[in-house]
Amino acid sequence: MTMKTKKQNKLENAGWKPGSAEEFLDLTPGESAMVGIRLALSQKLKGRRLQLGFPQVELARRLGSSQSRVAKMEAAAPGISVDLLVRGILATGANPKEVGAAVATA
């Protein structure tokens, strides 16, 4: 979503500078790519779970984890590893190609 020109001009005149999240957070290209990968994997996980009609509790049981951990996985929360996201997707019956396709969308 783009900012309206009038509002953007007003903010720039007040000293604000438009930019991306990557610029604001001073992320390297690699860090930015990892953020995208984590988001793509978490979205794939949630999509697969919903497609299968699993509640978070069922996915947690399959992973030997808790419902709150699955919620954090689906939210791409800090502290959730890419490895755990991949294991979660595989626990829904996805194959490695599907995991790769999710990463490729990042």
Q: Report CA Rg, the chain.
A: 18
Q: What pLDDT is attached to residue 10?
A: 87
Q: Which helix (H) or strand (E) holds 45?
A: helix 29-52
pTM of the model: 0.79
Q: What pLDDT is attached to residue 3?
A: 64
CA 91 – CA 60 distance, rounded (Å): 9
- The residue ranges of the chain whose pLDDT is under 70 are 1-3
Domains of the chain from N-terminus onward: 28-104 (1.10.260.40)
Q: What pLDDT is attached to residue 77?
A: 95
